[in-house]
Amino acid sequence: MTDTTTHPAGPAEDTAPNFRPILHYTAKNTWLNDPNGLVWHQGVYHLFYQNNPFDNVWGNMSWGHATSTDLLHWTEHPVAIACDEEEDVFSGSIVVDHGNTSGFGTEEDPALVAIYTSAFKEGSAHQGTQAQSLAFSTDAGMTWNKYAGNPVLGRGSAHFRDPKVFRYEGPAGSCWVMVAVEAQHQQVVLYRSANLKDWEYLSTFGPANATGGEWECPDLFPLPVDGDPDSVKWVLVVNINPGAVAGGSGGQYFVGDFDGVQFTADFDSLVPADADGTTDLRHCLWLDWGRDYYAAVSFSNAPENRRIVIGWMSNWDYANQTPTGPWRSAMSLARELSLAMVGGWPQLIQKPVLPDLAESRGRVFELASAVTVEDSSHPVHSSSSGEALIIRAEFLAGTARRFGLDFRETGPAGEVTGQTTLRYDVAGGELAVDRTASGKAGFHPLFPSVESCPVTLRDGVLALEIVLDHCSVEVFAQHGESTITDLVFPAPGGRTVCLVADGGDVTLSQLSVVAIG
């Protein structure tokens, strides 16, 4: 098991082409990883994140800061909470302290309170441990002060981190609840507090399901099942690195109940270990089946009770080596979550948050009439790789054994310089993204890969929403029942979307493409 808190550094040089995405947040000149402190306040979404203010590889961990009013257009601000001689500032969350329970603000003008992990450095009084600390802002998140009484919660552990705090109102009363991890024990630990400063231990969940790496960045929140307010379930998100279904880092989740003290996973959410003690990772519940969706956490207080998450679009297997510069690493699109009964169990449904603004900025293409191909490929859309594409497609399965789309990059003479392929395997009931020939793939031996996830056709139909940006592809299958997120680094040039069928025919019954340049 690797120690994920000492991520190895890679090259810091600027490697062209830039690949900076259009629809995804990147820091201008620096490194980022996990989203932190996702909070909505006074009409503004705040995205804080793990940031190295001095370089584009992991290190000097501090909280960077960006804001948005639509979750798509972000403005970068100065570093919010900086590392110092004592500590690196690791992942955590932010709450709006409405009742002024902490005393950092006033009831009329509540403070924002960040609960973060102090990763104490050599020479500090707490060296060798990770503990939870507070910082507060009384100017709507723009400047931050570390609390003089830090740390507020330690366990004498070197791997106790990533606190997500939320307001609990329920049968067990009204209080702040923290979920954090004992990373190397594959445990989520729960605490409660009246004032964010004094914490009382509640319970522990885990190990369970995927346990082949450190548990990191947990989240716990309620959602109605199929929109029914009388049927609420709790979702426990547990990120894991390594040991995710596609290799390296990824996010699993459990569905169950939380009584204010303990999270209990539904029987359906738990995967029993095989006789040899291993767990079939493909039976676990995953937020995403791709290689590049990690450390996903939710806004604690998005308006209208929406549950919106953002993930870090990379993988610790190669995050420090991706061929971009001067920036490195992007956030995923924001996703809105709901719970629905799928195959008899409540499971997460995820939809990308793409406000209409994205559509109005773009060129819109609609397929005039259905296209059928048999044992061949047929171009259905052309653009430049300089544009980001939002593709909505519906396929009617015919006799083809495999069908899908190719995203082909072409050079000046029309020659194919690379391609990312998306295939549905009818007999296997699996959707796969293949990025082995997607462009720059040789910068790390673990990068070239094929990711797949189980997908069930509905009345013979496969519906896909695909967002292709300058260095990523995010696929939402069957209206968000499963997702695959992968980085890809294609050569610049033309891009053709081709409909492909193998071993029979398939019909593309609908296709719309929004191209944003």
Interacting residue ranges for ligand FRU, rule: CB under 6 A: 4-5, 33-34, 50, 61, 90-91, 117, 161-162, 216-217, 295
| CA separation for the pair 128, 149 (Å, rounded) | 19
* 153 half-sphere exposure, CB direction, 13 A CA radius: 28
Please, which residues bridge with residue 178 across strands? 165, 191
- The answer to whether 33 and 58 have CB atoms below 8 angstroms apart is yes
Name the minimum Å distance from CB 130 to ligand FRU.
Answer: 8
| CA separation for the pair 449, 244 (Å, rounded) | 14
Q: Residue 117 or residue 186: which is nearer to ligand FRU going by CB?
A: 117
E strands of 323-445, at which residues?
335-342, 345-352, 363-366, 371-374, 377-384, 388-397, 402-410, 416-425, 430-434
| CA separation for the pair 125, 9 (Å, rounded) | 27
Single out the residue of 282, 280, 284, 281 nearest to residue 269, CA to CA.
Answer: 284
Name the minimum Å distance from CB 313 to ligand FRU.
Answer: 12
Torsion region of 313: left, alpha or beta (phi above 0 gives left; psi -120 to 50 gives alpha) = beta
Secondary structure (3-state) at 491: coil
- The answer to whether 334 and 310 have CB atoms below 8 angstroms apart is yes
Tell me the pairing of strands 461-469 and 450-454.
unpaired
Q: Residue 216 or residue 317: which is nearer to ligand FRU going by CB?
A: 216
Name the minimum Å distance from CB 81 to ligand FRU.
Answer: 13
Show Cβ contacts of residue 457 under 8 Å, excluding neighbours closer than 6 positions: 397, 426, 429
Q: Residue 164 or residue 402: which is nearer to ligand FRU going by CB?
A: 164
Name the minimum Å distance from CB 134 to ligand FRU.
Answer: 16
Angstrom CA distances, 87 to 82, 84, 113, 130, 149, stand at 9, 6, 18, 9, 14
Name the minimum Å distance from CB 472 to ligand FRU.
Answer: 18
Name the minimum Å distance from CB 204 to ligand FRU.
Answer: 18
| CA separation for the pair 61, 129 (Å, rounded) | 16
Q: Residue 39 or residue 240: which is nearer to ligand FRU going by CB?
A: 240
Catalytic residues: 34
Please, which residues bridge with residue 452 across strands? 432
Q: Residue 49 or residue 221: which is nearer to ligand FRU going by CB?
A: 49
Name the minimum Å distance from CB 195 to ligand FRU.
Answer: 24
